[in-house]
Each structure stands twice: as structure tokens, then as C-alpha cells.
A = this chain, B = another copy of it.
Amino acid sequence: MAPGNVTTELIERHRETLGKALEAIRTRDYWTPYPEHPKAYGEQAPAAGRAAFDALLNRHFELGQPGDGGPVGAEVSPYGIDLGITYPRPDPDALLAAMEAALPAWRDAGPEARAAVCLEVLARINARSMEFAHAVMHTTGQAFTMAFQAGGPHAQDRGLEAVAYAYAEQTRTPAQADWTKPQGKRDPLAMTKTFTAVPRGIALVIGCNTFPTWNGFPGLFASLATGNPVLVKPHPRAVLPLALTVAVAREVLGEAGLDPNLVCLAAEDAGEGLAMSLATRPEIRIIDYTGSSAFGDWLEDNARQAQVYTEKSGVNTVVVDSTDDYRGMLNNLAFSLSLYSGQMCTTPQNLLVPRGGIDTDAGHRTFDEVVADLTTAVGKLLGDDARANALLGAIVNPDVLARLERADELGEVALASRTVAHPEFPDATVRTPALVKLDAGKPDDHAAFLAECFGPVAFAVAVDSTAHALELLRRTVKEKGAMTVGAYTTSPQVEADVERVCLDTCASLSLNLTGGVYVNQTAAFSDFHGTGGNPAANIALSDGAFVANRFRTVEVRRHR
């Protein structure tokens, strides 16, 4: 079926961007079409974005979906304000039926039209990045600049990256091919073959509290670009960013003459368990999930009718062996521990430091000195409340706060958390990270550092030696998984050894980060987020495996 005029125009409009994205995932050099500098969005953008966000508050968010069962939603910002927004309560039977009905035309539109529609959705989201920033800030607790960047352009990058992989995968096989097999003196066998990418069915995206767009966009756009209708089930505390996303997608689809019900929202209140009941419905054929290992494992075990893509918990390690830039290392680590109060799946948790200390350009530093110097670096970084607020953001939910408040039960607190007052939002829950000393030589300490302690609690773990650190790293990744591994060393041998452990356990490694790149940040089109090969996740964002099984290819052959 030929795409309509609007779709043809969209294909032209986004052809260059798609081409550049396809090139970027091949070269893996830095590239983005979505500027991360707020200034790039114009002088009016901040005020307009704020006004657009304010206009969303204290009202019903209308989406025009079938089967609206009345209002649902009760988001309260980690900055202390009640958003007062309600969303349509989903009627799964009505939604899923409408989404299934929308599938064939979307399948028939083909990979190019689908990519163009996805890129138009992303372009419109990009234009509203300031509005999204407020939505992300007031659902996740991210500070505004981070909410803008990570929740805006960086999330859009990850969405576009998924679209590029999806497009590349669907077009590896030509839409049509001639096959001519010689038969000696007889006429050759001549066939014409068509190859059509056929979607799995309805895809379910289960959003998370901390990165609704950044972690939600890859699965959403990978599924949509491969022809699957997408049902978005946001976290009850972070509905707005994904509701805005769904609204933009529905708007673009409708304008292109396609069925808006290809993208629907399924909001719920906390404790309703909607993800469980949706995930096991036969109509759901793909699930993307970011969150706890407990529910991720449940999905993998129970949603057997679906392809299940999960990013779960992990325990991230930094091996500290030696450094020729002690100051740079301390500052880099201090930043990594502080950013978004450690509420990233990529934040380092266990800093493994030899009990006998380490060699540095500032001389040999004992374990206690390294810990003290790091607490000083964190203290200095967060000493100014304005800068602290800009880096830390707010604590996303009471569970994280409770873990922080019980950090002193785990070991000796080397750096205590402090409460930071927020100038604009007096009820914001802002805390600096705590650093707790543990000793790998004490069996009692193992339970603490071998479990994920998500949030602003890190452990400085004394180890016998770097070899011991690597042994512990190996065990931690193998048993608990890891989204990131960091290491500091001046020794080529140690560097090779830690690389080997990361290859053996399938973990991503950042070596000797001392400048403006942090272990907890990855750049789309260049860095993979996770590996999909250890217990922390069964996918990487994004690679061929992330998209290849979201569709299948149907061949039709006939004589030519």
C-alpha cells in the first residue's frame, strides 16, 4: 500500500536525519540532531516551556483514546508540588481491540514511512523539550538542567537511535528481489520475491520512575518503527512525560492519515498492578521494561507469549588501583556519586580500594586517605547549595529516602548525607550522597555491598589488593549484574586484567575517567547502554538484537 501524501512529505523531511543517524551508529563518533544546550532552543523557549507545563497542571489530560473509564492519576512532584493532573483510565479490552485494528495499515505503510513518522514525533517532542523538562523534573526529581538534557535531547537521541536500528534491520532484505537460477541448457528458473516486515503485535512499554523518556523511548520507538502498535504503561509517579509523548505521537499519526490508536496510554494509580494484568494478555507480544529485578524476572517468567526486554537492577563497581591524576579521579567520582543523587542505574555503588592504599601522582594514599579525600571532593562539589541543587535534584520517592536514612546501619559513615534547602520549592526532598566504609575482609559486610542500594548511598570497600578487587568485581557482575564498571589504574597489566574480567562477565568498562565524561553517562549513537549479557539487563540500548526480533519477514514468491 502506498504511503499517503503527508507520509511522503515526512519521508523527504526526515531523510537526511535518518541517513546521518544510520551513519552515526556505524562510525560511533559523536553526533546528534537534538542540541543539548538550552540556548539552542531560542530565548523564548524557557518561558514558553514553563507556561506550557503550567497549563497542564490541575486538569484532565485528554487523549481521545477509546474506552475512557474516567480519571486516574495522582502525581506529586519530588519538589513537593501536587501536579493535580488526571489521565484517562484505560479500558484494556477497548484499547487493545482498537490497537489491533490499527496494525495492518501501519504494517503496510512500510519501514520508510514508519521511520519518517517516528522522526516527526521525535522532532515535535524535541521542539517541546523545555515543556518535557518540567514534566520530567516534577516526576523524577531530576534537577532542571538534567531533566532538560537527559529527559529531552538525550532521550530523543536514544529514540532516534532505536529508529535507525529498526530501519536498518527491516531494510537489510530488499522489499523485492529477482532470483534467477541457471539450469544448464534449459531456461533458468526465474522467481520474483517480495519481503515484508511483519510486526509481532501490540508492544507494551512499562515506564520507570526515574527516566520515563530516556528509558522509555528506545522500546517505544523500536517497536513502533518495526510496525507494532505501542501501549505505554507509565510508572504511576511519572505519567506526564509519557502522556505528552503519547499525545504527540497520536497527533502526528492522525495528521499523516494513520490511526492514532497505534500509540495509547494506560495510566494507573499506584498499587493497581496494571502492568501485571496487561503483560500477560495474549494481545501483548513485546514488552519493554525498566525497573526492579523482582518485577523484571516476573515478566520474563510469566509473560511467555511476549518478547520481554528488561533493564533491571545491578551493582556497579569502580576498581581503584592507581592513578596519575588523583585530583581528576576524585572530582570525577564525586560528580558521578552526586549526579541526580545517585538515582541512576549507572551510578557507581562499590568503590573497591586496596586496604594498603594506592599510588597516585599525589603520592601513596592509604585507604582511609582516599576515602577522606573523596568525601572532601564531594563536600566541595556540593558545598554551595545552588550548585548542589543543580546537580542533585530531588529524591524520587520515599523508598529511596528510607534507604538513605538507614545507611548508617550498614557500616561506618565516612560522609554523611545532608539536607539541602531548595530556593524555589521549599518542600523539595534534596539530599547529598552518603559514603559508607565497608571491608571485603569482613563477611558481615558482604550482604551490604553485594546488593543493589539504589540511590545516594555508595560504599568504599576495602579489599586486600587489586587482584582481590578484580575477583570481587567478577563475582559481583556475574551474580548481581552491572550496568557500568569503572577502573583507575596506571598499570597496563591491571588495565588488561580488568578488561579481561569485563569481557568474561560481559560488562561495559570506563577506564581512568578524570575529565568531563562520567561512568554513569552514555552517549547515544556511540556508547551502548548496558550489554544485555549480565543479570542487570537482557538488552543493550541500542543494537541489532534490540530490534531484530520485534518483527519477522514474510516472503511471497512467484514465477517471473
A residues whose Cβ falls under 8 Å from a Cβ of B: 25-30, 104, 107, 169, 172-174, 177-183, 189, 191, 193, 195-196, 198, 200, 300-301, 304, 499-500, 502-504, 506-517, 523, 526-528, 531-533, 540, 543-545, 548-549, 552-559
Q: How many copies does the complex hold?
A: 2
A177:B531 contact, CB within 8 angstroms? no
User: Chain B residues near A195 (CB, 8 Å)?
Assistant: 28, 528
B198:A527 contact, CB within 8 angstroms? no
B553:A543 contact, CB within 8 angstroms? yes
Known: A169-B544, A198-B503, A523-B181. A512 touches B558 (CB 8 A): yes
Q: How far is the CA of A178 from the CA of B511 in the complex (A)?
A: 15
Closest residue of chain B to A498, judged by CB?
Answer: B556
- 8 closest A-B pairs (Cβ-Cβ)? A533-B552, A545-B548, A28-B177, A511-B558, A30-B181, A544-B548, A545-B549, A509-B556
User: Chain B residues near A173 (CB, 8 Å)?
Assistant: 25-26, 28, 543
B558:A177 contact, CB within 8 angstroms? no
Q: How far is the CA of A375 from the CA of B191 in the complex (A)?
A: 27
Q: How far is the CA of A26 from the CA of B504 in the complex (A)?
A: 33
User: Chain B residues near A533 (CB, 8 Å)?
Assistant: 198, 200, 552, 554
Known: A29-B177, A193-B28, A531-B198. A513 touches B559 (CB 8 A): yes
A509:B553 contact, CB within 8 angstroms? no
Which of A27, A183, A304 is the most central at the interface, judged by chain B CB atoms within 10 Å of its CB? A27
Choice from B179, B506, B515, B552 contacting A30 with Cβ under 8 Å: B179
User: Chain B residues near A499 (CB, 8 Å)?
Assistant: 556
Known: A544-B548, A545-B548. A177 touches B557 (CB 8 A): no
User: Chain B residues near A504 (CB, 8 Å)?
Assistant: 104
Kindly provide the distance from the CB of A146 to the nearest chain B CB, expressed in whole angstroms: 17
Choice from B196, B509, B532 contacting A552 with Cβ under 8 Å: B532
User: Chain B residues near A198 (CB, 8 Å)?
Assistant: 503, 506, 531, 533
Kindly provide the distance from the CB of A105 to the nearest chain B CB, expressed in whole angstroms: 12
Q: How far is the CA of A198 from the CA of B503 in the complex (A)?
A: 7
B29:A180 contact, CB within 8 angstroms? yes
User: Chain B residues near A25 (CB, 8 Å)?
Assistant: 172-173
Kindly provide the distance from the CB of A393 to the nearest chain B CB, expressed in whole angstroms: 23
Kindly provide the distance from the CB of A497 to the nearest chain B CB, expressed in whole angstroms: 13
A29:B178 contact, CB within 8 angstroms? yes
User: Chain B residues near A191 (CB, 8 Å)?
Assistant: 517
B193:A527 contact, CB within 8 angstroms? yes
Known: A174-B28, A513-B559, A514-B559. A554 touches B502 (CB 8 A): yes
Choice from B193, B553, B558 contacting A531 with Cβ under 8 Å: B553
User: Chain B residues near A516 (CB, 8 Å)?
Assistant: 183, 189
B177:A554 contact, CB within 8 angstroms? no
Kindly provide the distance from the CB of A154 to the nearest chain B CB, expressed in whole angstroms: 12
User: Chain B residues near A532 (CB, 8 Å)?
Assistant: 549, 552
User: Chain B residues near A28 (CB, 8 Å)?
Assistant: 173-174, 177, 179, 193, 195
Q: How far is the CA of A299 from the CA of B513 in the complex (A)?
A: 44
Choice from B506, B526, B556 contacting A193 with Cβ under 8 Å: B526
B544:A508 contact, CB within 8 angstroms? no
User: Chain B residues near A558 (CB, 8 Å)?
Assistant: 510-512
Kindly provide the distance from the CB of A96 to the nearest chain B CB, expressed in whole angstroms: 16
Q: How far is the CA of A499 from the CA of B104 in the complex (A)?
A: 12
Choice from B27, B182, B553 contacting A177 with Cβ under 8 Å: B27
Kindly provide the distance from the CB of A243 to the nearest chain B CB, expressed in whole angstroms: 31
User: Chain B residues near A506 (CB, 8 Å)?
Assistant: 198, 552, 554
User: Chain B residues near A500 (CB, 8 Å)?
Assistant: 104
Closest residue of chain B to A200, judged by CB?
Answer: B533
User: Chain B residues near A196 (CB, 8 Å)?
Assistant: 503
Choice from B182, B189, B555 contacting A515 with Cβ under 8 Å: B189
User: Chain B residues near A104 (CB, 8 Å)?
Assistant: 500, 503-504
Kindly provide the distance from the CB of A208 to the nearest chain B CB, expressed in whole angstroms: 22
A559:B181 contact, CB within 8 angstroms? no
Known: A107-B503, A516-B183. A531 touches B544 (CB 8 A): no
B548:A172 contact, CB within 8 angstroms? no
Q: How far is the CA of A196 from the CA of B527 in the complex (A)?
A: 13
Kindly provide the distance from the CB of A2 to the nearest chain B CB, expressed in whole angstroms: 15
